[in-house]
A and B are shown apart, each in its own frame.
Chain A
Amino acid sequence: MRRTGNWLAHTVLILGALLFVLPIWLAFCAATLDPAAIDRGELSLIPRLGHLGSFWGVLAHGGPGVPPVWRMLVVSFGMALAIAVGKIVISILSAFAVVFFRFPLRRAAFWAIFVTLMLPVEVRIIPTYAVMGDLHMIDTFPGLAVPLIASATATLLFRQTFAAIPDELVEAARMDGAGPLRFLKDILIPVSAANLAALFVILFVYGWNQYLWPLVVATSPSLDTIVIGIVKMIGIDTSTEWNKVMATAVIALIPPVVVVVSMQRWFVRGLTEGEK
């Protein structure tokens, strides 16, 4: 019974993994081909392992029109980290306040935050850019990250998580004489660890993949993120060196994957451990 269940699970997961990995495997294989092979429709599922040079090439020297990839990795990493941490901090605080307190305009505050789910950056570029100009944040590192920290997704998640916490737990904490901030630190955050870890991964990748805003707000090449680098390498009116694009794309996957791996143990534990 249990055995067959496991076989089924393995089958489902392997199929899923194939579905997810195939396109990325294609990107890896493409990185080992000659620059124009993709355009000729000669992409194959077997990488030419003798031709991994494109990876070192882009990492150290960049590609057509872009600086070395390692530098863009640093910028992207900083931006993604700032966005993820920033969002999580302000969202935990506001969700905590909304769920565990009664204060004037509480509902209004919640809704004011919540409707920000709906306005994508693409639509508000011009006014947002003007605001950043007034704040002297154009072409600065904070300018890359700060406007993207404002969003409601994380608040909504923490609100959902906190709302599911039994009243008894709060009661017990209060009996122990824990103040609100200690309750937050010692109970709420450990209890939400699984969701927090999941959210961190998601937000990190969200920040990592930002394109339009960094493109508009940053003009110094030193602020080029890796996604901008990839788009820069895809030629218009000229052929694209697909091997370099794909090598960069594959390298760009590594930091998010490292983040996922290092968050693993938090995913796995989470509430089950915090419960005691």
Chain B
Amino acid sequence: MERRTIFAGWKLPMLLVAPQLVLTFVFFYWPALVAAYESLTRTDAFGIHVTFVGLANFRSLFADPLYRAAILRTVGFCAAVTALALGLGMVLAVAADRELRGRDLYRVLMIWPYAVAPAVSAVLWILLLNPQIGFVGRFLVTHGIRWDYALNGNQAMLMVVLASAWKQVSYNFIFVLAGLQSIPKAVIEAARMDGARGWYRFRTVVLPLLSPTLFFLIVVDLVYAAFDTFGTIWAMTEGGPAQATQTLVVKVYNDGVVNLDLGSSSAQSVVLMVGVVALTALQFRFLGRRSGA
């Protein structure tokens, strides 16, 4: 992120970052500190009895094989959702980045899923996939496929991956398209003159220019898959059957809001924060450098 040309002075930039920093400190760091403190305590939901327990919450968390399983499950889930959403988003954006008849209409149609409220999108997916009342689900069952996500963990996972990725494709589509639009036509033309065509041109010319956008999208998709899919998963499976679709954030919600186990829930939030900060730092080191950022 180092650039050679910069503006002088330090008062103006500090003034410019101030609003963002203030909001961040009040609405992120303060609650995060509270969470960090709570992770070191054993407390009831109302905060009436608070006992300092040191790292006991963390110890019991990592001693729990179900928690370790949830970490692995979350990694797989995030990778699957990101790959699917980004892959589809890119294919569609590349297709839409042409002088096509009806291009504007296509673009509107691609945005819709993102605008559907999570509560409704879960209902819609159930209408598609429920083995009894769903279009696709019923079709599978009557054609001899044992489709039963209430008991089959792999099928349940497949379902939440599909539903989660479906909602995120639009996001990827929009930004890849915006990124493609931002590539100067002259560059593409020059490549064409040089005889580069099709996939080769895309890979050698377009992709590198797109990489800052792709880097941004990978980060956002991973964060989306890790955190914002909670509503969809919760409405469809509540993390079940058994714990087959319980990702880390579903577990945080479940332990914090449903089970009111604030100590453990806070400890899990802290683990998540540390984990993702580390992951992001890594991304910046390896991906960020290559993406010219």
Contact = CB atoms under 8 A, between A and B. Distances in A.
Interface of A: 5-6, 8-10, 12-13, 16-17, 19-24, 26-27, 30, 38-41, 43, 89-91, 93-94, 96-104, 106, 109, 112-120, 122-128, 130-131, 146-147, 149-150, 152-153, 155-157, 159-161, 163-164, 167, 170-171, 174, 180-181, 183, 194-195, 197-198, 201-202, 205, 208-209, 211, 226-227, 230-231, 234, 245-246, 249, 252-253, 256-257, 260-261, 264, 267-272, 275
10 contacts: A12-B95, A16-B110, A100-B13, A131-B30, A155-B20, A180-B9, A198-B175, A211-B231, A257-B111, A267-B107
Contacts of B92: 12-13, 16
Given A163-B212, A256-B111, A98 B17 contact: yes
Is the contact region of chain B dominated by helix, strand, or loop, or is it mixed? helix
A167 to B, nearest CB: 5
B124 interface: yes
Contacts of B14: 97, 103-104
Nearest to B253: A122
Contacts of B184: 271-272, 275
Interface in B163-218: 166, 169-171, 174-175, 177-179, 181-185, 212-213, 215-216
A21 B109 contact: yes
Nearest to A24: B112
Interface string B266-293: 0001001100110010000000000111
Interface in B48-92: 88, 91-92
A163 B16 CA distance: 17
A102 B256 contact: no
B116 interface: yes
A66 to B, nearest CB: 14
Interface of B: 1, 3-7, 9-10, 12-14, 16-17, 19-21, 23-32, 34-35, 88, 91-92, 94-96, 98, 100, 104, 106-121, 123-125, 127-128, 132-133, 135, 138, 166, 169-171, 174-175, 177-179, 181-185, 212-213, 215-216, 219-220, 223, 227-228, 230-231, 249, 252-253, 256-257, 262, 265, 269, 272-273, 276-277, 280, 291-293
Given A16-B88, A160-B293, A174-B5, A271 B115 contact: no
Given A103-B14, A120-B227, A167-B5, A271 B181 contact: yes
B280 A114 contact: yes
A117 B280 contact: yes
Contact of A23 (B125, B181, B185): B125
A234 B276 CA distance: 35
Given A131-B30, A163-B1, A195-B175, A123 B256 contact: yes
B124 A26 contact: yes
A39 B223 CA distance: 35
A256 B124 CA distance: 19
Contacts of A231: 119
A21 B114 CA distance: 11
B13 A150 contact: no
Given A23-B113, A160-B216, A93 B181 contact: no
Contacts of A8: 95
B16 A94 contact: yes
A27 B120 contact: yes
Given A5-B98, A156-B216, A26 B228 contact: no
B277 A118 contact: yes
Contacts of A30: 127
A27 B119 contact: no
Most buried by A among B10, B24, B113, B269: B24
Most buried by A among B100, B120, B127, B213: B120
Contacts of B25: 112
